[in-house]
Amino acid sequence: MVRLRESLSKMAKKLFVGGLPWATTSDDLKQLFAASGTVSTATIITDKMTGRSRGFGFVEFDNDAEADAAVEQLNGTEYGGRKLLVNEARPMADRPQGGRDNF
């Protein structure tokens, strides 16, 4: 039980970043968030068919305090002419599923 708690406390905190300019790369995203702490990963989500950015991405920090600082510092700020939305990412199971059968 103690090991489980230790491993859970060491899990990285993932942030959702919306409102990104279409030209933003994963490296740009990592550099933007690096001012708040050590970024583990930064990923721009792209359209499967076109390969173009979908205007959002995810940033992961190993340190929860640094992730919280990034949310505080960057949420609502302007980047590349667009207003950023930054918050803690929700697990996929917590999000509503889309599709034509879900009315």
> 65-101, pLDDT tens digit by residue?
999 999 999 999 999 999 999 999 998 776 566 655 5
Instruction: Tell me the helices (H) and strands (E) count for the chain, helix number first.
Output: 3, 6
> 2-27, pLDDT tens digit by residue?
444 444 445 689 999 999 999 999 99
| Three-state secondary structure call for residue 45 | strand
CA dist 42 and 100 (Å) reads 31
The answer to whether 54 and 46 have CB atoms below 8 angstroms apart is yes
Tokens of 16: 């959702």
Domains, the chain, ranges and CATH? 10-86 (3.30.70.330)
Q: Look up residue 92 and give its DSSP letter.
A: G
The answer to whether 25 and 44 have CB atoms below 8 angstroms apart is yes
